[in-house]
Structure 1
Amino acid sequence: VRNLAIRYDATKPLEIAGFKIRDTHPAGRWLNTPEALVHSSNVVTAQIADNLGREKMEKMSRGLEFDRRPSIELGERAKPIWPKSWGRVTNMTVGYGHGISVTPLHLASAFAAMVNGGIFHPATLLKRPVNAKDNGRRVFSAATSARMRQLLRMIVVDGTGKKADAEGYRVGGKTGSAEKAGIGGYSRSLVVSTFVAAFPMDNPRYIIVAMLDEPRGTAETGFQRTAGWTSAPIVRRTVQRIGPQLGIIPDTHRDVDVSELMPLLWAPKGGG
């Protein structure tokens, strides 16, 4: 918890090598790690990636198979877009999802490893016995995975993922609103909005990746097109529909214990 309490400057865009890294909805203050996740701060995430350094970031990305076609029994497996050179700027932008591009299956497999105790299992279409052995390998420590389950649940309870919260199903997840890459750089007007979720987060069994290509804001979304407004509600409705079919009964009396992290979230005096 001590490391999560370290604060990073999010009062202004981050300038690096002639580029500016910005937040879609700037908090205008210093943020710690839980707050950065709850508010989806690119500025803080870039600083954390910079502190970790290229070696750790690249090792993790390769461990999650972001550098190769996904492992699955299909011929139509797309290659990811891997950085041609991994310098300091690339390392910082990879931290929040730019500079690298992977398939939804890559994303789902990585998310599963992050919440299942830290073990990466190659994706498969084959039904296997529950106790069957595979060539899974550790990518995250069990302690890190447990902490991520708390943080991802907090994002849905108190952050940009609120609209993904299906009552009683303990959904945890993360928004991702990426500008579309095109000729000459990233588009400022077109985005891909993604919400990746797991449930029930106190004992994760299922992963959902909801992705919308070039969503447009409507009156219902407050004319917002980011993932928290467009993709997150899809997750909520999907979980509510498929949860009972999967044998998961909603239970409002159990949840991930995030009590030790809640004091790290700043709230204005006199209100939430």
Structure 2
Amino acid sequence: MSFLSRIMVLKSQAHFSAGVYDRFGAPSGMAIEGSRKRKTGQARSRVGLLIVGFTALYAVIGARMVEYGMKEPESVSSILPPDRLMASRPDIVDRNGEILATDIRTVSLFAEPNKIVDTDEAVEKLQTVLSDLDVKDTYKKLSNRTSHFAWLRRQLTPKQQSQILALGIPGIGFRPEKRRFYPGGATAAHILGYVNIDNRGVAGMEKYIDDQGLADLASVGMTSNQPLEPVRLSIDVRVQAIVRDVVVNAVVNYKAKGAGAAVLDAHTGEVIAMASAPDFDPNNPQEGSKDGWLNRMSNGTFEMGSTFKTFSTAMAIDSGKVSLKDSFDATNPIRIGGFTIKDFHGQRRWLTVPEIFEYSSNIGTARMIDIVGMEMQKEYLTRLGLLTKMQTELPEVKMPSQPRVWKKINSITISFGHGVATTPLQTAVAGAALINGGKLIEPTFLPRNREQADEVAEMVIKKSTSDDIRYLFKLNGVKGSGRNADVPGFHVGGKTGTADKVVNGRYANNLNFNAFLAAFPIDNPKYVVLTFCDEPLDGEQHQRIAAYTAAPMVKNIVRRAAPILGVEPEFGEDGSALLVSY
């Protein structure tokens, strides 16, 4: 049999053997049908299992997606959180556009403890770059293997970042941040304030900016790292530098506990410069002393001494009950309520109103205010803003203090500056109202023109009264205690005040609070300057009173700042004689 024949026979046998036969040798139809149904059932079962499997798989995936969607973002090096660290703060600039505060890019060091290989080695290496590293705290952070993120040091320098990178420590990384930078350092510290480690305003105008809505936007993640429109202040950084220099030198030269000064535009209420010492560097606020954080100009209250005689004289004249031609008996001290009111420079005679101002007579001022009356005195001081909290952008503003119950003795002592404690800045603001024609203008650290100032101004005294006060300021600047503040060509006028400090409830005659309220040029005042020196132990010619401490401070400020402010000097009685050469 050939090979092909054998193949055909085998194929035929396989065909018949594959069939199913009944007992008579014929194929069974029922067996074939059962086999078909069994195979169909198996197929359906397999498809069903596949459907159930895929359904379960997608259900698990969906559940995990919901879980991840509702879970707080995990801070790991590969997944940055909704980054508020990079949110921009607006630059702060002075009135001329000079930058006072800006953001700079920096980085912060973090670790993923679960990826740290050798904790001891990591800490030792980091300590070679960060010498002040808290070893115990860092070791504790890095030893927590369940932790995926931990800050190690915020705001590194570029050099520190480079050195740490060179160490090659696994599980250590950097994140970009923004740091606030103040080019002038402490120059305008109490005006600008400072920010915390997360670039949020803590004090000064930085906090004011956050309070205007920036903090709310940051809290809901709506800030961005795009540059913002700069915030322009009324400050002139050139004058600010001069004022701070004078204030800091006063603390050193007069061995004082503190000192301060402010320059205001008399017609707009703009604060051109303000400084308080001791102060701090806003770039490193924590390194300053606690005394340096206190803004004595707006957040410290003091009995302003004889500068208050300016307000007492103004209200006496404005009431119509007193004129410059009137005289008062200052021959003998006044005894009232167990107290004796006497003069420091007693003339022991009747004094005219200008003489009362020139000689700073407590007796004469007390007799004037007695005519005015206590109720009118309170009303005038309230109208001048000296008994209420000052309104301005700066958050650090303290409420003045006054007697709970006013008695006649209180009225008398308050007339010459004892019994009411106000902030130096609000004293300067009230003083501006007395020499600018009678308009009280709330102080501002933002630019404001005269038209805008007139909209918020309030007439508190008559213009004629303001004219009289300017005359008295000029008189005192030429003949009285203000002579030490005079600057040739700029005609400074004002009123000194030397107040005894209260120690343990009693006035100490060896500790003074000295102040000088001034204006220039006094014939047509444009600016008000107030200086103070707290508890000086020395002064010019070794005198500790205001004429030899606070007044020379005004002189130094005006001498250096007046040309910058565009005030032209005048020489000669009519201003016609010009200084041609030196």
Query: After superposition, what is the alpha-carbon deviation per residue over 1:139-188, rounded to whole angstroms, capped at 9, x for unaligned?
Result: 11000001110111100101111111111112110000001123222112
1:248 to 544, 547, 567: 567
Please give the secondary structure, in 2, of the residue aligned with 1:74. coil
Name 2:488's counterpart in structure 1: 167
TM-score w.r.t. length of structure 1: 0.89
Distance 2:359 2:507 in 1: 22
Matched residue type, 2:434:
M
Distance 1:120 1:255 in 2: 30
Name 1:39's counterpart in structure 2: 359
Please give the secondary structure, in 1, of the residue aligned with 2:456. coil
Q: Which moved more, 1:190-199 or 1:1-10?
A: 1-10
Larger radius of gyration: 2
How much does 1:224 deviate? Answer: 2.2
Please give the secondary structure, in 2, of the residue aligned with 1:163. helix
**Quick check: 1:213 aligned with 2:534?**
yes
- Equivalent pairs, count: 254
Query: After superposition, what is the alpha-carbon deviation per residue over 1:101-151, rounded to whole angstroms, capped at 9, x for unaligned?
Result: 100111110000000000101111110133224321111100000111011
Distance 1:163 1:81 in 2: 31
Distance 1:32 1:215 in 2: 32
Query: After superposition, what is the alpha-carbon deviation per residue over 1:56-113, rounded to whole angstroms, capped at 9, x for unaligned?
Result: 2111100111222211101110111122111111111111101101001111100000
Please give the secondary structure, in 2, of the residue aligned with 1:92. helix
**Quick check: 1:76 aligned with 2:396?**
yes
Please give the secondary structure, in 2, of the residue aligned with 1:244. coil
Distance 1:64 1:185 in 2: 28
How much does 1:199 deviate? Answer: 0.7
Name 1:269's counterpart in structure 2: none
Please give the secondary structure, in 2, of the residue aligned with 1:169. coil
Name 1:262's counterpart in structure 2: none
- Alignment map for 1:159-198 (pairs within 5 Å): 159-198=480-519
2:547 to 228, 235, 242: 228
Name 1:15's counterpart in structure 2: 335
How much does 1:16 deviate? Answer: 1.2
**Quick check: 1:3 aligned with 2:323?**
yes
Name 1:268's counterpart in structure 2: none
The structure richer in helix per residue is: 2
Name 2:426's counterpart in structure 1: 106
How much does 1:254 deviate? Answer: 5.6
Matched residue type, 2:327:
R
Instruction: After the TM superposition, list the runs of 4 or more consecutive aligned residues in structure 1 that deviate by more than 4 angstroms.
Output: none
How much does 1:5 deviate? Answer: 2.7
Query: After superposition, what is the alpha-carbon deviation per residue over 1:195-223, rounded to whole angstroms, capped at 9, x for unaligned?
Result: 110111122111111100112245x42x3
Q: Percent identity?
A: 38
Larger RCO, structures 1/2 (Cα 8 Å, 6+ apart): 1
Name 2:521's counterpart in structure 1: 200
Residues 88 and 137 from structure 1, CA distance in 2 versus in 1: closer, same or farther, beyond 3 angstroms?
Answer: same
Distance 2:362 2:515 in 1: 15
Distance 2:551 2:326 in 1: 28
Please give the secondary structure, in 1, of the residue aligned with 2:388. coil
Distance 1:129 1:136 in 2: 12
Name 1:237's counterpart in structure 2: 556
Matched residue type, 1:54:
M
Which consecutive residues of structure 1, in runs of 5 or more, have no partner in the other structure? 257-272
Let me know the Cα RMSD of the aligned residues.
Answer: 1.8
Name 1:53's counterpart in structure 2: 373
Q: Which moved more, 1:181-190 or 1:165-174?
A: 181-190
Matched residue type, 1:126:
L
How much does 1:255 deviate? Answer: 6.7
Please give the secondary structure, in 2, of the residue aligned with 1:252. coil
Which consecutive residues of structure 2, in runs of 5 or more, have no partner in the other structure? 1-316, 576-582
Distance 1:23 1:214 in 2: 21
Residues 255 and 180 from structure 1, CA distance in 2 versus in 1: closer, same or farther, beyond 3 angstroms?
Answer: farther
Query: After superposition, what is the alpha-carbon deviation per residue over 1:1-37, rounded to whole angstroms, capped at 9, x for unaligned?
Result: 9932322222222111211012112122221110011
Distance 1:110 1:14 in 2: 28
Distance 1:11 1:94 in 2: 21
Matched residue type, 2:570:
D
Please give the secondary structure, in 2, of the residue aligned with 1:65. coil
Name 2:3's counterpart in structure 1: none
